Structure 1
Amino acid sequence: MTTEAKTSRVSGFHKKTPRERLDFVADFAGLDGDTVAHLADMGNLDPHLADHLIENVIATMSIPVGIATNMRVDGADVLIPMATEESSVVAAVCNAARQCYDSGGFTTSMSDAAMIAQVQLVGVSDPHHARLRILERRDEIKAICDACDPVLVRLGGGFRDVEVRIVDAPGGAMVVTHLIVDTRDAMGANAVNSMAEALAPHAAAWTGGRVYLRILSNYADRRLARARATWTCDAIGGPEVRDGIVSAYHFAAADPYRAATHNKGIMNGISAVVLATGNDTRAVEAGAHAYAARDGRYSSLTRWEVTADGDLAGSIEVPMAVGLIGGATKLHPTARANLKILGATTADRLARIIAAVGLAQNFSALKALATTGIQKGHMALHARNIAMMAGAAGAEVDAVARILVERGTVRVDVAEAELKRLRG
């Protein structure tokens, strides 16, 4: 392909095989042979499956899967698969869990397994009357929704309730119907979306309005996972460390600039387990951050307190729309293997374990911030990445990383110089 002929308008690109697409991209971007060979190797994911999970596939991208140890959740010991590219995330969960293991580990609970589907009506002349007209048809709405997924109903799920809100918007009042649906062990997007689609023409006929959006909400505040744990003063280094963690939490609770980073750390752990189990990281993250702003101001997803005995008590409550059936959770072989390692046989159990991981992650981050600072531990682990970026291989990686940590300078240029010195 000549430079003049390059174009991103490619007719029938989706009809090509992954290798044909890759060859086209290689020509377009000027990829060398080694790069093409690397992209063509799809590792442990079958190319046929990859080509049907998403569109226009040319390659896969491997993310390391690590195991968090020491986790005790509701009296049972579990190993936690975590898929992430960020160093120190897995280690942080291991360390936090070890320090509260002897005091019982993590206790968890779940609010419900309900998802919300929204049906948006506009152009309604009498929105308050329309709201009541919809609510009066609850039984009819239930029949419409449950008919969309008889299997879900047979498994004990399905329609649970209907709510109608009047939302003041720049274009005028909207009448927004919420379908509350128990999705059991599914994340539930397809089920609730189908119900919203089915209800839409009926809602329009009942109110005289026009329907536009009919889709689930990722603000899954009817599907809250909760976890709590206690760390004794002796286990974490004394009252000064305890008070530093509480003070760090107070900072996040009061300041959205701090809360954003505080909650990002929590999501480091949560998203790693969500990804490892083939669930939707974007949906969980969107719901978590929306929940953090539920009181009109963005704040901490966790709470940290001092018990009557002087120990540290942490808790978390976060929307957790995850499932065991549907999508990558059933199709991706690594996701299936990770679920088996985790031993979660229900979506409820999976959600509660993930919440516990988020709390553990937050503990380690706050403890590091309140004591040595976040960089010491993080950069010690990151030093291995820097060593590899400098070209170290095999035993050289640990040797160079150790020198970087000892010098307190974790930089690529320093690593390159040390590697050159090691090689003589």
Structure 2
Amino acid sequence: MAVAIDSRIKNFRAYDVAARRAEVAGQTGLTDADIQTFEPGAGLTIDQADRMVENVIGVIGIPVGIATNFTINGKDYLIPLATEEPSVVAAASNAARIARGLGGFHVSSTQPIMQAQIQVVDVLDPAAARIRLLEARAELIALANEQDPMLVSFGGGVQEVSVRLVTAPEQTYVVLHIHVDVRDAMGANAVNTMAEAIAPRVAEIAGGRVVLRILTNKADLRLTRVRAVFDAELIGSPEVVDNLIHAVRLAECDPYRAATHNKGIMNGISAAVLATGNDTRAVEAGCHSHAVNADGVYSSLSHFEKDADGNIVGTLELPMPVGLVGGATKVHPVAQAAVKMLGVETAEELAGVIMAVGLAQNLAAVRVLAGEGVQRGHMGLHARNIAATAGAEKHEIDAVVARLVADKKIRVEHAVEVLAELRGGN
């Protein structure tokens, strides 16, 4: 077991890569072999990649950074984030620091229920077919559970069935849902297998024929919730706090703002999902479908309010279908090391960590927008990429970045000019 983690690491960003690795390994119990998986060329081998997907020609590297300062349900975590976008890791870490003194993040969740749909077409009496299928509930549940006795032995399996009538221009479809407790798996393979198995019997009972039998990524029965209080004094001036609330309110009312607001949340969520080898597309699809409110309008996924002390209370509730068994999580060596670093023991715990990162990243992004604006901080980090593109060596990057920011010309051609000046003066 790893030792207790203290995610508040002073000046962690000033460490070199070797020192960061040593700090993370010392706190999380990662072995030298675990750390080695993060070395380019030593993580996912070409043979492993060739077994994961078809027509393989290589692999692509994504930076993995460590988000610090996170306290979640009273426990500290060092959180690996896989992202190519500057500012995500730093912003999430900073927001976690702002929440840390007021208790950090608090998470809870529903049971890990995934659903599969079975679409029946050409049904003459859809309303009656719905009732017939509900009458056969016990039979259908038993038949589905026969497909995965191992899952059932762990307390999972089909818990319920429901039937919806979906009206299309051509006809009314009868759509049966199976509700499956998938335990610590993401669950796609399990629910798809069950849906395939019971589809013929569903068609027979309904008096039609089956077309689709597949999971839905609208995992609205598998919800994770997170809340945190962010210290107003650390956020900034009262004006920044008020502007932050105004910015969030616009995202709640305006789909154009909501799309970018929610992208900020997903910057954190997708980075944590990817680092742990989970399905980013499934998570993103579920989250964005959840953003459509009761009025059918795409809206903000998060909510921010001021409490009696003037602090910001942030909340987020989303489908979070992630797992610890199966898929790339058990195949990809870097994903295995990332999960080990987190020390999570259940898919529910992993979902909570991911959600905390999403809320932190969201608070950080809106705080910047409500204060100095996105360009100052984001472009400062982007300038490092520009400096490197211009050919700056490691010892030259800070000086080049400082000039680019000061000149407000964060462009490659200007970086080339600055670099030439610096080298000409040496």
TM-score past 0.5 threshold: yes
SS of 2:56's partner is: coil
Distance 1:207 1:45 in 2: 47
Two-structure CA RMSD over aligned residues (Å): 1.0
Q: Alpha carbons of 1:369 and 1:271: their partners in 2 closer, same or farther (altered >3 Å)? A: same
Q: Which range is displaced more, 122-131 or 290-299?
A: 290-299
Deviation at 1:44, TM superposition (A): 2.3
Aligned to 2:99: 100
SS of 1:423's partner is: helix
Distance 2:169 2:270 in 1: 35
SS of 1:131's partner is: helix
CA contact (8 A) 1:386 1:410 kept: yes
Aligned to 2:400: 400
With CA pairs under 8 Å and 6+ residues apart, which has the higher RCO, 1 or 2?
Answer: 2
Aligned to 2:416: 416
Aligned to 1:26: none
Distance 1:171 1:116 in 2: 25
Aligned to 1:316: 316
Matches within 5 A, 1:236-255: 236-255=235-254
Distance 1:417 1:133 in 2: 76
Distance 1:165 1:381 in 2: 49
Deviation at 1:74, TM superposition (A): 0.5
Matches within 5 A, 1:5-404: 42-295=41-294, 296-404=296-404
Distance 2:158 2:44 in 1: 36
Distance 2:315 2:420 in 1: 49
SS of 2:120's partner is: strand
Distance 1:211 1:109 in 2: 37
Distance 1:297 1:397 in 2: 45
1:136-192 deviation per Cα after TM superposition (whole angstroms, max 9, x unaligned) = 011101111110100000011001100000000122100000100000000000000
Distance 1:371 1:357 in 2: 21
Deviation at 1:193, TM superposition (A): 0.2
Distance 2:145 2:375 in 1: 53
**Which runs of 5 or more structure 2 residues have no equivalent in the other structure?**
1-39
CA contact (8 A) 1:42 1:60 kept: no
Q: Alpha carbons of 1:394 and 1:310: their partners in 2 closer, same or farther (altered >3 Å)? A: closer
1:300-335 deviation per Cα after TM superposition (whole angstroms, max 9, x unaligned) = 000001112221100001110000000110011100
1:339-361 deviation per Cα after TM superposition (whole angstroms, max 9, x unaligned) = 01111110000001111110000
SS of 2:351's partner is: helix
How high is the TM-score relative to the length of structure 1? 0.89
Distance 1:359 1:394 in 2: 33
AA partner of residue 393 (structure 1): E
AA partner of residue 50 (structure 1): A
Distance 1:43 1:405 in 2: 36
SS of 2:165's partner is: strand
Distance 2:70 2:163 in 1: 42
1:351-394 deviation per Cα after TM superposition (whole angstroms, max 9, x unaligned) = 01111110000000000000000111001111100011111122
SS of 2:287's partner is: helix
Distance 2:66 2:232 in 1: 27
Aligned to 1:23: none
SS of 2:260's partner is: helix
Percent identity between the aligned chains?
A: 57
Distance 1:72 1:299 in 2: 28
Distance 1:301 1:389 in 2: 36
CA contact (8 A) 1:89 1:361 kept: yes
Distance 1:291 1:44 in 2: 34
Deviation at 1:207, TM superposition (A): 1.4
Distance 1:152 1:361 in 2: 35
AA partner of residue 312 (structure 2): L
**Which runs of 5 or more structure 1 residues have no equivalent in the other structure?**
1-40
How high is the TM-score relative to the length of structure 2? 0.89
SS of 1:213's partner is: strand
CA contact (8 A) 1:100 1:235 kept: no
CA contact (8 A) 1:219 1:290 kept: yes
Distance 2:375 2:307 in 1: 29
Aligned to 2:14: none
Distance 1:246 1:351 in 2: 26
AA partner of residue 54 (structure 1): V
Distance 1:246 1:262 in 2: 13
How many pairs are equivalent?
Answer: 384
Deviation at 1:269, TM superposition (A): 0.2
1:28-48 deviation per Cα after TM superposition (whole angstroms, max 9, x unaligned) = xxxxxxxxxxxxx95421221
SS of 2:84's partner is: coil
SS of 1:175's partner is: strand
Instruction: List structure 1 segments (4+ residues) > 6 angstroms apart after TM superposition.
Output: none
